[in-house]
Structure 1
Amino acid sequence: MLRWKNLAVAGGVLRWRTLAVAVVVGIAVVTAVWWAGPGALGVTATGGGDTTQATVTAPAACTDANPTETVRFEHGGQNQTGTLDACGHDRDDRVSISIPADFGAGSTKVHLADVVQGHSDLRRPLGLALLALSCLGGGTYAFLVLRGPRREPALA
């Protein structure tokens, strides 16, 4: 009866196969998570609503305590006004905004379309890098377990 460590040491064939299987599985896991999209790593899209172009009508300086700008946009075939939680734009600048799904009549709060509060663009690549490192660590651990302990020659 053969033991795992005997198989792992025999000719070095199983060691390379073990390493190749660990590499292929790690690449498959990272690729599957990458294809699954941002939700797989906790990065979610904006909370619903439409995205449209707006024109800044009343800009705000970024030195204000709570800067808000007034924007004009078209929604549902009507011109609407909204309060944009941003600063630093000039009058008549065009910005892309996200209109909330529960949009009502009158003025409403809108957000910049490319900004999701609490998230940064580095979450996805960093999550994929950490996942790849964990796959590498798991593969290395499997390789070392299958290789077994090394025996040092006895000193005379």
Structure 2
Amino acid sequence: MAVVTGILLLLGAWWMGPSLFGSASAEGERRIVDAKVTDPVDCATADAEETVRFRLNGKIHKGLLSGCGHDQDEPLSIALVDDPTKTDGPVRVALAATEPGVNDLRRPVGLGLLTLGCVSGGTYAFLLARGPRAGLV
């Protein structure tokens, strides 16, 4: 019974899809582009924002990155938060590695941990159902 319950839990988790362990962004897919830091900021300032420069559709845009500690002209991979074609000024961007999504290790690690939990629970239930063994210390 414990094995069947564990298998049903795993199938239910797999059926729920990416939203179980790593939800996709509410706004949908965000565009990932390469950028360079044009105005680095020291990390001593609160709410530091660095300025980055990136190319999109053959046009160069400026972006505001909430972060600090990068070097001048350091290459970064960013995710566009706002649409640069709808504004003339700098747009909000985020580091691509910190954007929520399903292209990271959260889903496989979560499913692996769930599998280990099911196996451990099944083993414990088996040991409880078997009872104590005679002759073992």
TM-score norm. by structure 1 comes to: 0.59
Q: Deviations over 1:58-92 (max 9, x none)?
A: 00111111111001111232111010111111111
Match of 1:135 among 98, 115, 118: 118
Higher-Rg structure is 1
Please list every run of 5 or more consecutive structure 1 residues that lacks an aligned counterpart in the other structure: 1-17
Distance 1:65 1:49 in 2: 27
Identity of aligned residues (%): 41
Match of 1:77 among 32, 42, 58: 58
2:37/2:70 contact within 8 Å kept: yes
1:82/1:109 contact within 8 Å kept: yes
Match of 1:43 among 7, 22, 25: 22
Aligned residues: 124
Matches within 5 A, 1:2-81: 22=3, 29=10, 33=14, 39=18, 41-46=20-25, 47=27, 48-81=29-62
Q: Which amino acid is 2:91 matched to? A: T
The DSSP-based 3-state class of the residue aligned with 2:53 is strand
2:48/2:66 contact within 8 Å kept: yes
Coordinate RMSD, CA, aligned:
3.7
The DSSP-based 3-state class of the residue aligned with 1:114 is helix
2:95: which partner in 1?
A: 112
1:97/1:113 contact within 8 Å kept: yes
TM-score norm. by structure 2 comes to: 0.66
1:60/1:87 contact within 8 Å kept: yes
C-alpha deviation, 1:49, in angstroms: 1.9
2:32/2:79 contact within 8 Å kept: yes
2:78: which partner in 1?
A: 97
